[in-house]
Amino acid sequence: MKKLILNAIVVIMLASILAACSTQQPSASQDPVAKETPLSLTDPAGNEIIIPEEINSIISLAPSNTEILIDLGYKDKIIAADTQSQILGVLSENIPYIDLMNPDVEQIIALKPDLVLASGMSMAEGQDLLKPVSDLGITVAYIPSSESIEQIYNDIMFISKVVKEENKGQEIVDNMKLKIADIKAVGDTITNKKSVYFEIAAAPSMYSFGKGVFLNEMIEIIGAKNALGDQESWISVSDEAVLAANPDVIITNVSYIENPVDEIKSRLGWESIKAIQNDEVYYVDNFKSSLSNHNIVIALEQMAKAVYPDKY
């Protein structure tokens, strides 16, 4: 499926530099060769990492992280990225692009980055594919795909701490919260809630989600209910399950086939589903709805207008 669903901030421990006044040694501020003590953080995956004093070169191995870095003003410091970030079309085509499922470790090391921002996919099956990189002293921070909107806030703030742009990070989070609050204020007034089936992978291998996924939160925020909300996390879906749920609205963000809306409408046996009968099948932007970062608010607005065009 071919999609990234892809994520726990922690506290900083900044060691104080002692000014040896009693022995009349120069303080850190007076000593021309004194350096700031490196910043120690715990990444969202629970790893202790040391943040370089200066970050001038970054490798981003997740498109969600790439978009956050760009909006923090760090686009020009991204010297390589994953191939999904390349599809976004937001970075120069002249930089190297790396397979995040099978990263070229030698290439990463040769680029000598100050920082590597990786996703949970680089720790597949408990194997740290980037361990040879961190073993050489290069800072590697893992940011697993977030399961909730709150975790997305935390991830944005973690990245902003790492690149020392906390004010910008807080501004991004605050803007998210404002937009979500505006939409939720309308959603909270809706009493006759429509049921929504949200498809993230098309037939014959259909996938969707139940509770414990930020997309489920988004359905609830707009004042609707997840047709498969009695299930947990990401799920494989059968024709029978969708027919039994009989959703009022179907949303798809599938982008790897042509005309996913028409494909859903033409499925044999789905003619009795209310969403098909009432022509309420809609597409929302794949990247905006699947990447766990601040741009989910764009997908949230698209979902709101699709499900309740008379309300939003």
Min mean pLDDT across 33-42, 96-105, 146-155 is at 33-42
- Clarify whether residues 146 and 217 are in a common domain: no
- Clarify whether residues 233 and 292 are in a common domain: yes
The two structure tokens encoding residue 92: 């120069």
Q: pLDDT band for 218, please (50, 70, 90 cuts).
A: very high
* pLDDT attached to residue 167: 98
* pLDDT attached to residue 121: 75
CA–CA separation, 66 and 49 (whole Å): 20
**Residue 297: its H or E element:** helix 296-307
Whether residue 179 is contained in a domain is answered as no
Contact 228, 250 (CB under 8 A): no
Secondary structure (3-state) at 214: helix
Residue finishing a domain among 105, 131, 164: 164
- Clarify whether residues 107 and 66 are in a common domain: yes
Give per-residue pLDDT as tens, 151-161.
999 999 999 99
**Spatial CB neighbours of 32, under 8 Å, sequence gap ≥ 6:** none
Q: pLDDT band for 101, please (50, 70, 90 cuts).
A: confident
Whether residue 86 is contained in a domain is answered as yes
Q: With a cut of 60, say whether residue 41 has pLDDT above it.
A: yes
- Clarify whether residues 134 and 205 are in a common domain: no
Angstrom CA distances, 94 to 62, 81, 97, stand at: 18, 11, 9
Whether residue 32 is contained in a domain is answered as no
Q: With a cut of 60, say whether residue 21 has pLDDT above it.
A: no
Q: With a cut of 90, say whether residue 239 has pLDDT above it.
A: yes
Q: With a cut of 60, say whether residue 303 has pLDDT above it.
A: yes
Contact 180, 296 (CB under 8 A): no
Whether residue 259 is contained in a domain is answered as yes
Who wins on pLDDT, 22 or 184? 184
Mean pLDDT for the chain overall: 88
Give per-residue pLDDT as tens, 63-92.
999 999 999 999 999 999 999 999 999 999
The total number of structural domains in the chain stands at: 2
Range of the domain at 294: 185-307
- Clarify whether residues 293 and 211 are in a common domain: yes
Contact 297, 307 (CB under 8 A): no
* pLDDT attached to residue 179: 98
Give the residue among 248, 274, 276, 278 at the shortest CA–CA distance from 262: 276
Give percent of the chain with pLDDT exceeding 90: 81
In this structure, which amino acid lies at residue 116? Answer: V
* CATH code: domain of residue 100: 3.40.50.1980
Q: With a cut of 70, say whether residue 23 has pLDDT above it.
A: no
Quote the crossing angle between the two packed helices 166-187 and 63-71, to the nearest 10°: 110
Burial of 262 (0-12, 13-18, 19+ CB in 10 A): exposed
* pLDDT attached to residue 37: 65
* pLDDT attached to residue 36: 57
Give per-residue pLDDT as tens, 269-288.
999 999 999 999 999 999 99
* pLDDT attached to residue 34: 42
* pLDDT attached to residue 27: 38
CA–CA separation, 309 and 305 (whole Å): 5
DSSP state of 146: P
Burial of 211 (0-12, 13-18, 19+ CB in 10 A): middle
Q: With a cut of 90, say whether residue 9 has pLDDT above it.
A: no
Relative to beta strand 139-143, strand 207-209 is unpaired
Give percent of the chain with pLDDT exceeding 70: 86
Q: pLDDT band for 12, please (50, 70, 90 cuts).
A: very low
Place of tokens 């000593």: 31
- Clarify whether residues 145 and 248 are in a common domain: no
Whether residue 137 is contained in a domain is answered as yes
* pLDDT attached to residue 125: 63
The whole-number average pLDDT for the span 168-194 is 98
Give the CA-trace dihedral at 78, 80, 86, 90, to 10 degrees: 10
